[in-house]
Amino acid sequence: MVLVFGTTYYAKRPFGWQTANWYYTKAYMGALMSYAIVIYKTYGPPQLNLAFLHRLIVDENVEYLLLAFFWLMMKPMVVTLLPFVVFSLFHVITYTRSTLIPAVFPGVTLEIQRVRQEERSGTVRTGLSAAGRVSKYMGDWSSKYYSPALREVGVWEVAVVGAWIVLGAVTFQTPLLAPPFYFQFLRMRYALSAPTRAAFRRVRGFLDKMLTPPSASASVPGLVTDSYIRVRDFLIKIGDVIMDPAAQQQQQQPQPQR
pLDDT at 79 over 60: yes
Identify whether the C-beta of residue 42 lies closer than 8 Å to the C-beta of residue 61. Answer: yes
* CA separation for the pair 19, 25 (Å, rounded): 10
Q: What is the pLDDT of residue 118?
A: 79
Identify whether the C-beta of residue 62 lies closer than 8 Å to the C-beta of residue 56. Answer: yes
DSSP character for 45? S
pLDDT at 1 over 70: no
Q: What is the pLDDT of residue 258?
A: 38
Identify whether the C-beta of residue 143 lies closer than 8 Å to the C-beta of residue 116. Answer: no
pLDDT at 5 over 90: no
Q: Which residues contact 13 (CB under 8 A, 6 or more apart)?
A: 19, 20
pLDDT band at 112 (very low <50, low <70, confident <90, very high): confident
Q: What is the pLDDT of residue 109?
A: 87
> What CA–CA distances, in Å, run from 78 to 30, 75, 87?
15, 10, 16
DSSP character for 220? S
pLDDT band at 225 (very low <50, low <70, confident <90, very high): very high
Tell me the pLDDT tens digit for each residue of 9-61. 455 555 445 567 878 888 899 899 989 999 999 999 989 899 999 999 899 99
* Average pLDDT of span 186-190: 94
Q: What is the pLDDT of residue 19?
A: 64
The model's pTM: 0.84
Tell me the pLDDT tens digit for each residue of 125-155. 667 888 989 999 999 999 999 999 999 999 9
pLDDT band at 114 (very low <50, low <70, confident <90, very high): confident
* CA separation for the pair 184, 256 (Å, rounded): 35
* Average pLDDT of span 174-197: 93
Q: What is the pLDDT of residue 116?
A: 82
3-state helix, strand, coil in the chain (%, to 5): 80, 0, 20
DSSP character for 75? S
Percentage of the chain modeled with pLDDT above 70: 86
pLDDT at 6 over 70: no
pLDDT band at 124 (very low <50, low <70, confident <90, very high): low
Q: Which residues contact 159 (CB under 8 A, 6 or more apart)?
A: 199, 203
Q: What is the pLDDT of residue 4?
A: 57
pLDDT at 184 over 50: yes
SS3 137: helix
* Average pLDDT of span 227-254: 78
Buried b (16+ CB within 10 A) or exposed e, 118-152: eeeeeeeeeebeebbebbbebbeeeeeeeeebbeb
